[in-house]
Copies of this chain bind each other. A is one copy, B any other.
Amino acid sequence: MSTDPRAYARQNLDRFRRELYDFLRIPSVSAKTEHAGDMAAAAEWLRARLQEAGLAAEIRETPGHPIVLGKWTGAGSDAPTVLIYGHYDVQPPEPLEEWHAPPFEPTERDGRVYARGAADDKGQLYMHVKALEAHLSATGRLPVNVIVLAEGEEEVGSVNLVPFVERHAAELACDYVVISDSNMFDEGMPSILFSLRGLAYLEVHVTGPRGDLHSGQFGGTVANPANALAKILASLHDAQGRVAVEGFYDDVVEWDAETRERIRKLPFDEERYRRELGVDALAGEEGWNTLERLWIRPTCDVNGLLSGYTGEGAKTVLPARAMAKVSFRLVPDQTPERIAELVRAHVERVAPEGVRVEVRELHGGRPWRANLEGALVHAASEALQEAFGVPAVLQGEGGSIPIVVDFEEKLGASALLVGFALPGCNLHAPNEWFPLEHFDRGIEALVALYKKLGTA
């Protein structure tokens, strides 16, 4: 047996993959009650693997699906503590008919493993478990104290996670939080996230007459809630693609020239991106390129529209109400609370006479910005370069992971988001896959990361 964790990992990659496939065979779909047994099985499977690797592992119940907690505290109080966060639940696999192979039967093809959860997030979570095993098996110890926290409700809103973290803040206290649930910039091009966008998700309800009316017998005499909603939604952008809500940009911290320069130098192919999306032209806020629009600029997107008659044919209804789901991606230092307030004021101001409007807040999450100066990002950059042979790039992420800010605040830690999937991995879609080369190289990178953090 090797006493070098990296060599150990290389020698055991085949077994690591086979174990991952066992993990992927458990249909741990958190959204469906019929999978409650599978959820429990997946949690227990993961707990057992952590235990085997050498951690003290246990299942912790929540009002929803359980949390798996693994700990190793032998590095001593001088060594930093790293909390590794991931999730063992997966998205529902539907529509099943679009899968080329069964979603819960991992299939290798062209250097990829296809299965639900391969990328999001079982594959990436399990890389950490195996990196820990490599250290413990090869050297009998870890360079850092470790807490593994794997939840089973990430795909259904993580409703029990923040209360759990709050209640157990002392137990979970750590210096660093490491999360692998995101993408590399491209194949073979490792990356570290420098930002996450936040989210303010609202519903706009417009109500007019007491009930639906006949559009002939009443049309032209009362404000139509669907027309009014269209007017309200259209008013949310100006002609330059900026969000036209007063005060919307007040809290946006301009990024430094270096960051913009770094983004603009990335080898990003806008034409390929456009072609893959199947649109005639890309669009967005004037004065920013696609990656900037995606990573460092806030947005306003309508997510849903419903009003009146939507079936086949011509029903002449003047609808009594209309509804839109509208969400805003936020950038530092915007907050969902303030943005909801501004949007509410805007909607009330532009709503035409004769209708009533209501803005409901459904969901919010703060944006996040990495501390690029500390030991954490430094160690990760070196570890990724060693494992992949090229420097890691800094990239943003257009989506939101609200728990990151909560972890940092409630545990007094810095977070590192280092992912190994790819933009085309079909997360939340049929035929999800994960690149096997990234699985192998990524485990090596994580082995190196923990080592560097222990000696930083």
Q: Does A15 contact B (CB under 8 A)?
A: no
Of B283, B324, B329, B353, the residue contacting A222 (CB under 8 A) is: B283
Contacts of A423 in B (CB 8 A): 217
Chain A stretch 290-318: residues in CB contact (< 8 A) with chain B: 290, 293-294, 297-310, 313-318
Of the stretches A62-70, A230-238, A248-256, A385-393, the one at the interface is A230-238
Q: Does A141 contact B (CB under 8 A)?
A: no
Residue of B nearest to A353 (CB): B281
Q: Does A123 contact B (CB under 8 A)?
A: no
Of B234, B236, B305, B315, the residue contacting A306 (CB under 8 A) is: B305
Indicate whether A353 sits within 8 Å of B216 (C-beta atoms), given known contacts A304-B308, A316-B199, A319-B303. Answer: no
Q: Does the CB pair B284–A310 fall under 8 Å? A: no
Tell me what chain A mostly uses at the interface: helix, strand, loop, or mixed. loop
Indicate whether A222 sits within 8 Å of B282 (C-beta atoms), given known contacts A209-B277, A229-B230, A325-B310. Answer: yes
Chain A stretch 63-93: residues in CB contact (< 8 A) with chain B: none
Chain A 191-202 near chain B by CB (<8 Å), digits 1 or 0: 000000101010
Docked pose: A229 CA to B277 CA in angstroms: 19
Q: Does the CB pair A230–B221 fall under 8 Å? A: no
Contacts of A281 in B (CB 8 A): 223, 353-354
Contacts of A280 in B (CB 8 A): 353-354, 356
Q: Does the CB pair B325–A218 fall under 8 Å? A: no
Q: Does the CB pair A221–B283 fall under 8 Å? A: yes
Q: Does the CB pair A306–B303 fall under 8 Å? A: no
Q: Does A443 contact B (CB under 8 A)?
A: no
A274 smallest CB distance to B (angstroms): 8
Docked pose: A201 CA to B232 CA in angstroms: 23
Contacts of A217 in B (CB 8 A): 294, 397-399, 423
Docked pose: A197 CA to B201 CA in angstroms: 42
Q: Does A323 contact B (CB under 8 A)?
A: yes
Of B220, B278, B327, B362, the residue contacting A294 (CB under 8 A) is: B220
Indicate whether A220 sits within 8 Å of B293 (C-beta atoms), given known contacts A215-B329, A316-B201. Answer: yes
Contacts of A215 in B (CB 8 A): 299, 301, 303, 327, 329
Q: Does A213 contact B (CB under 8 A)?
A: yes
Docked pose: A325 CA to B224 CA in angstroms: 13
A313 smallest CB distance to B (angstroms): 6
A343 smallest CB distance to B (angstroms): 14
Q: Does the CB pair A304–B319 fall under 8 Å? A: yes
Q: Does A428 contact B (CB under 8 A)?
A: yes
Docked pose: A423 CA to B213 CA in angstroms: 12
Contacts of A214 in B (CB 8 A): 399, 427-428
Q: Does A219 contact B (CB under 8 A)?
A: yes
Q: Does the CB pair B303–A305 fall under 8 Å? A: no
Contacts of A273 in B (CB 8 A): 221
Of B220, B302, B356, the residue contacting A398 (CB under 8 A) is: B220
Q: Does the CB pair A299–B428 fall under 8 Å? A: no
Q: Does A285 contact B (CB under 8 A)?
A: yes
Q: Which 4 residue pairs across A and B have the least CB separation, nearest first?
A: A216-B399, A210-B278, A230-B233, A234-B234
Known: A281-B353, A304-B307. 6 other contacts (CB 8 A): A223-B281, A226-B324, A229-B305, A230-B232, A302-B322, A303-B308
Q: List 27 A-B contacts (CB under 8 A).
A: A197-B216, A199-B216, A201-B316, A210-B276, A210-B277, A210-B278, A211-B278, A215-B299, A215-B301, A215-B303, A215-B327, A216-B399, A216-B400, A217-B397, A219-B327, A219-B398, A220-B293, A221-B294, A230-B232, A230-B233, A234-B235, A280-B354, A280-B356, A303-B317, A308-B325, A313-B362, A316-B327
